[in-house]
Structure 1
């Protein structure tokens, strides 16, 4: 006789805030240094948030 029960794998529970899609990036609206600085600060903040969430998902799935 063999094994009669099989192991059921369950999906890890991933918090809802980690499975949200990354936000769209804004387009650069102007041509001044101020416009570029505002755009770049926003873009870097969005990237860092998305990178952190992605890293947390990867860690949860390890």
Structure 2
């Protein structure tokens, strides 16, 4: 496990970009901190819902 801390700010419903950002960090042991707005003005269809689903999945399985 590493001591890496990664801050991600103002996602604003960009589910695709969030998934791309998170992919290299999965199973790395890095601690993820989300700052700012997760949802609002999603540029993608169902972006707000998909962002929340990604965050809830990470909370349910922090080792992912």
Question: How would you bin the TM-score normalised by the shorter chain?
Answer: 0.3 to 0.5
More strand by percentage: 2
* Structure with higher helix content: 1
Which structure would you say has the larger Rg? 1
TM-score by length of 1: 0.34
Alignment TM-score, normalising by the size of structure 2: 0.33
